[in-house]
């Protein structure tokens, strides 16, 4: 009789313990180039607990001044649909990540999608970094997906700077004057552009670009009116800042700067 009572009490304790502290966790990706993990609180045996999987996590390679897009798909596996939150952690200096959707609900009939656009500035440090995608729902623990983000030097940037610009020019600290110019790729050399109506002078200037550092050089060149210009500066895909010297045919020099903003 005593053995039967003890057995019933033991079974009752097991049942009580299995019904406590249940949450759910997402499913980490089964891929070679990413690592995912979750904190598990015993919910995997509960068919009613919410769980989901994340597809699309991969290594990212982005050039300076360029973008790479990671397309994510979050799908419900079990349980009642819940809101899932997304975030990125561990970005290196000079790199940003923009999520088209930072939260969504993967339902029984439709997945939740989000595109993450990684952008590297012209001054971002090259190298390979470990970055994490974090996902979490209302009842699940945070799942971390670790992937490599590689920043490379730009191989060609003259395409990115092409366009029309509003220019502000001043020489010897005089009043700024406003003009417009047009920048196009040079057909004869890589990393070189032609600037039409440079600094409002009405002539074409040739500018060499250093895509890796975001700097530029105006090689010495003489316009039809006898003025010679040369200088240095910096640039992005939407801006050029050129500090240059202009010298007349009678050897009168001026220190000038033109700031060009793409429109």
* Segment 73-122, tens digit of pLDDT: 999 999 999 999 999 999 999 999 999 999 999 998 999 999 999 999 87
Average pLDDT over residues 242-263: 96
Task: Give CA–CA dist 195/63, Å, rounded.
Answer: 25
> pLDDT per residue over 55-80, tens digit each?
999 999 998 888 899 999 999 999 99
Q: Which of 37-46, 117-126, 188-197 bottoms out in mean pLDDT, i.e. has the lowest?
A: 37-46
Residue 232 has pLDDT above 80, yes or no: yes
pLDDT of residue 122: 77
pLDDT of residue 45: 58
Task: Give CA–CA dist 85/51, Å, rounded.
Answer: 13
Average pLDDT over residues 37-61: 72
Task: Give CA–CA dist 28/33, Å, rounded.
Answer: 12
pLDDT of residue 154: 72
Provide the pLDDT confidence category of residue 44 given band limits of 50, 70 and 90.
low
Residue 57 half-sphere exposure toward CB, CA atoms < 13 A: 29
Task: Give CA–CA dist 134/87, Å, rounded.
Answer: 5
**121 vs 229, residue with greater confidence:** 229
pLDDT of residue 81: 93
Mean of the per-residue pLDDT values of the chain:
84
Provide the pLDDT confidence category of residue 173 given band limits of 50, 70 and 90.
confident
Task: Give CA–CA dist 142/89, Å, rounded.
Answer: 13
Residue 22 has pLDDT above 90, yes or no: no
Give CA 255 to chain center in angstroms.
37
pLDDT of residue 14: 41
Residues ≥6 apart with Cβ < 8 Å to 161 = 183, 193, 209, 235, 237, 240, 262
Give CA 100 to chain center in angstroms.
12
pLDDT of residue 48: 79
Q: CA end-to-end span of the chain, whole Å?
A: 91
Q: Model's pTM, two decimal places?
A: 0.52
Spatial contact of 259 and 241, defined as CB atoms under 8 Å apart = yes
Provide the pLDDT confidence category of residue 5 given band limits of 50, 70 and 90.
very low
pLDDT of residue 104: 96
Average pLDDT over residues 40-54: 69
Average pLDDT over residues 122-140: 92
Set out the domains of the chain in order of their start, with CATH numbers: 23-152 (2.60.40.10), 158-262 (2.40.128.420)
> pLDDT per residue over 213-227, tens digit each?
889 999 999 999 999
């Amino acid at each position: 009789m005593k053995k039967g009572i003890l057995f019933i009490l033991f079974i009752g304790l097991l049942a009580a313990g299995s019904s406590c502290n249940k949450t759910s966790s997402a499913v980490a990706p089964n891929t070679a180039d990413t690592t995912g993990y979750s904190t598990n609180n015993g919910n995997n045996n509960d068919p009613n607990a919410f769980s989901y999987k994340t597809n699309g996590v991969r290594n990212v390679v982005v050039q300076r001044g360029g973008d790479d897009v990671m397309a994510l798909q979050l799908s419900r596996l079990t349980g009642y649909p819940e809101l899932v939150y997304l975030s990125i952690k561990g970005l290196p200096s000079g790199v940003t990540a923009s999520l088209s959707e930072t939260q969504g609900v993967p339902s029984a009939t439709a997945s939740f999608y989000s595109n993450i656009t990684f952008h590297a500035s012209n001054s971002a440090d090259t190298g390979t970094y470990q970055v994490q995608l974090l996902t979490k729902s209302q009842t699940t623990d945070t799942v971390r997906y670790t992937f490599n983000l590689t920043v490379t030097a730009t191989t060609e940037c003259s395409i990115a700077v092409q366009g029309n610009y509003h220019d502000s020019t001043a020489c010897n600290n005089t009043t700024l004057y406003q003009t417009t110019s047009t920048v196009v790729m040079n057909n004869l050399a890589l990393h070189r552009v032609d600037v039409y109506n440079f600094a409002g002078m009405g002539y074409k200037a040739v500018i060499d670009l250093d895509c890796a550092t975001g700097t530029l050089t105006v090689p010495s060149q003489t316009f039809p009116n006898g003025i010679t210009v040369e200088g240095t500066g910096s640039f992005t895909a939407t801006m050029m800042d050129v500090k240059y010297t202009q010298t007349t045919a009678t050897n009168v020099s001026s220190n000038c700067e033109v700031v060009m903003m793409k429109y």
